[in-house]
Chain A
């Protein structure tokens, strides 16, 4: 595993993603996903919304790095707001 060059922050990052997927799976078993129509005029399920959140957050963080600077905690805050918006309206 040495060649993969694991570090604590990346391990935590992937653990969080893995945990999110696990939670979504458990939720999907308990409460089956029902698609709904959102403001994007398309049907989305919970899983779709998680995907839109994660992909969008990646771009938000990149934009923050490119336009503003190093301190990513603020970008994470924006991502959180974005996530809430996606889960509420999309």
Chain B
């Protein structure tokens, strides 16, 4: 649709602008201020300069949390995106079964995140959980509170359980927009299942997959509640991701200065990634002719 130039439209946007400025700009300014100072409580601050940044940039703790975070996001993307696309390809196209599978698949998406944690905390326990009990009965040594590998497997399975449906539902929406004529043409050409996927379905899903990857990357990059409930970041620091570490520092130890410097660097990385994705997304939109 052709949009008209109208500077008065700013008045319509003003409430959003003010509200978001209040909830985003003021906190971010505060974070910048804190990150350069030291405090011993009582709102008394001392200039610390760039000390916290230098310290954090050389700290083992931050870099290992960052490394775990990257590995976690990479693993869940590598599982959830192909699995989600695969599920979407197998979803019924219309009718009662389509509605039913939509509703059932969306269920995990609507569960409060700490309840997701609680569900898997219970499900994985060897004494009372179905998964843990079954694994133990099969003779597999599995204990997510003691064994880092088991903790990782539990958290990744939980995330796959929680979010794969999102990728599937988005891909499904992309698939729905393919006209039936395309499939018929492919049938006449005796195209294989694989080439139908590669030349017809995948290009049509490109846009939605981009969004799905963006959202899954960002949300997994700031994951806090679910692993916090299941493992509390342990055993040791094995599942301490960036947000868990930051909250520990900011609200647990109330180290305002280092926590603020940490926050800012975290925020900058997020800004960079979401900008790159956003640019690619809008360029794709332009190509598609929106």
A residues within 8 Å of B by Cβ? 2-7, 9-10, 13-14, 42, 51, 55, 58-59, 62, 65-66, 69-70, 72
Contact = CB atoms under 8 A, between A and B. Distances in A.
A24 B243 CA distance: 35
A5 B42 CA distance: 11
**Chain B interface, DSSP helix/strand/loop, else mixed:** helix
Contacts of B271: 55
Interface stretch (B33-41, B76-84, B201-209): B33-41
Given A10-B32, A10-B36, A62 B268 contact: yes
B50 interface: yes
Contacts of B36: 7, 9-10
Contact of A58 (B37, B268, B279, B283): B268
Given A3-B43, A5-B43, 14 more contacts: A3-B30, A5-B30, A5-B34, A5-B37, A10-B32, A10-B33, A14-B29, A42-B279, A42-B283, A51-B275, A55-B268, A62-B268, A65-B54, A66-B58
Contact of A4 (B33, B50, B265): B33
B47 interface: yes
A4 B29 contact: yes
A6 B50 CA distance: 16
Contacts of B33: 4-7, 10
Contacts of A3: 30, 43
Majority secondary structure of chain A interface residues (helix, strand, loop or mixed)? helix
A7 B50 contact: no
B265 A62 contact: yes
B272 interface: yes
Contacts of B279: 42
Contacts of A69: 54
13 contacts: A4-B26, A5-B34, A5-B37, A5-B45, A7-B33, A10-B32, A13-B32, A14-B29, A51-B275, A58-B268, A59-B272, A62-B53, A70-B50
A74 to B, nearest CB: 13
A4 B276 CA distance: 31
Nearest to B275: A55
B24 to A, nearest CB: 14
Closest 6 CB pairs of A and B: A66-B57, A5-B45, A5-B33, A4-B30, A10-B33, A65-B53
A71 to B, nearest CB: 10
Contacts of B268: 55, 58-59, 62
A9 B29 CA distance: 12
**Which one of A10, A13, A42, A51 has the highest number of Cβ atoms from chain B below 10 Å of its Cβ?**
A10
Interface in B52-79: 53-54, 57-58
Interface in B1-41: 26, 29-30, 32-34, 36-37, 39
Contacts of A13: 32
Nearest to A8: B47
Nearest to B30: A4
A62 B50 CA distance: 10
A62 B283 contact: no
Contacts of A55: 268, 271-272, 275
B50 A65 contact: yes
